Copies of this chain bind each other. A is one copy, B any other.
Amino acid sequence: MATEPRLTRAADPNGRSVSVKDVAAAAGVSLGTVSNVLNRPEKVLPATRDHVLAVIDDLGFVRNDAARQLRAGTNRAVGMIVLDVRNPFFTDVAQGVEERLGEHRRPLILGNSGQDARRESTYLDLFEEQRVSGLLITPVGQVLPRLRRLRDRGTAVVVVDRRAGTREFSSIAVDDKRGGRIGAQHLIDTGRRRIAFVGGPKGLSQVKHRLQGAQEVVDATVGAQLTFVETPTMDAVAGRRAADQLVALGKRSRPDAIFAANDLIALGVLQALTFAGVRVPDDVAIMGYDDIDFAASAAIPLSSVRQPREQLGRVAADTLLDVIADPGAKVRDVVLEPELVVRRSTVG
């Protein structure tokens, strides 16, 4: 690459960075005027403004946000803590959030708890120390006291992908119990009776409710039974391990359908079953959950319970923006509806 001329000098020889003071001096105006150009340009004469802007550009001045924040007392950024960034479900939700926030010129800082309460706590510390204006969180651990403290400190809090379980915070969720029912009912309707529900940990609200929904349907069906295979995480590896366990039960006692708590698990299950020579769906049907894009392109396209991912993200962002604008806004408890998507993994 050709060497380009040094257009800027963002730091003087001492490495000290250019400050508003330097800009003011170079432009021959006062410090307050520079700040006005930055924050309320309409209050400055066009000629002055353009001149200051030119100097800013020339010196390579970039405002120190820590100083701005300390004085102004506001941080425009929004923090988001997701359960697993490697799960496309969450990046799709985050995408929806980012879009909406971007329209309001608010940066999104993404944190990944990886379903680990300690990492979740570390991100809460970070966001609390940073005094972010808003927080979107899909909780893992017992974070209610932390969320209350954040709120008391002025941070807007919205719970994503599960209900808040309290009237104190708005939440945007999808009806997991209903999703569990829909998925299980489809398996029953297609003749399955011995269903294994794979997912976990069971302390996770989403897993618990999906399982409950499935249980209800099975309980209402004579001759049907549901077993729960708990996994430590919700990824393909966990799915493969659980499937291996089920295959080891032998042809007679293994289930005739597996309902996975999410698609990543379902994809792992599918791989393990195929590897073990179990035919899908002939021998064992597989139902996924989320309907991530990869579900449709799987070796045996996955039937799944679709969650409106982008909508979840957009509504969450909108709700958060409302709370930021008015902390006293009415608490919302939005519950979106899941939808059955039938593909080859359940119907040959």
Q: Does A145 contact B64, Cβ atoms closer than 8 Å?
A: no
CB nearest neighbor in B for A1: B165
User: Which residues on the B side are within 8 Å of A60 (C-beta)?
Assistant: 149
CA A111 to CA B111, docked complex, whole Å: 11
Q: Is the CB of A1 within 8 A of B86?
A: no
Which one, A29-37, A123-131, A173-181, A242-250, is touching chain B? A123-131
Task: Tell me whether A70 and B66 are in contact (CB under 8 A).
Answer: yes
Query: Does A221 make an interface contact (CB < 8 A)?
Result: no
Of the listed stretches A9-17, A192-200, A253-261, chain B binds A9-17
The reply to whether the CB of A161 lies closer than 8 angstroms to some CB of chain B is no
Q: Does A39 contact B (CB under 8 A)?
A: no
Contact of A86 among B7, B70, B95, B131 (CB under 8 A): B95
> A166 to chain B: which residues have CB within 8 Å?
1
Which chain B residues lie closer than 8 Å to A149 at the CB level? 8, 10, 60, 62
Most chain B beta-carbon contacts within 10 A, residue among A7, A63, A149, A301: A149
A335–B138 alpha-carbon span in the complex (Å): 38
CB distance from A74 to the nearest CB of B (A): 10
Residue A296 CB within 8 A of the other chain = yes
A119, CB-defined interface residue at 8 Å = yes
Query: Of A46-54, A102-110, A276-284, which binds chain B?
Result: A102-110
Q: Which residues of B contact A65 (CB under 8 A)?
A: 66, 129-131
A311 at the interface (CB under 8 A from B): no
Tell me the minimal C-beta distance from A196 to chain B in angstroms.
20
Closest to A294 in B: B294
Q: How far is the CA of A122 from the CA of B296 in the complex (A)?
A: 34
Max count, chain B CB within 10 A of own CB: residue among A17, A92, A301: A17
Partner of A107, one of B123, B154, B296, B299: B123
Any B CB within 8 A of the CB of A293: yes
From 269 to 289 in chain A, residues with beta carbon under 8 angstroms from any chain B beta carbon are 270-271
Q: Is A267 an interface residue (CB 8 A)?
A: yes
Closest residue of chain B to A98, judged by CB? B112
Per the bound structure, the CA–CA distance linking A109 and B130 in Å amounts to 12
B66, A145: Cβ atoms closer than 8 Å: no
| Known A17-B153, A66-B67, A271-B296; further 11 A-B contacts with Cβ < 8 A | A8-B149, A10-B149, A62-B128, A64-B131, A65-B131, A66-B66, A66-B131, A86-B88, A102-B122, A270-B297, A298-B298
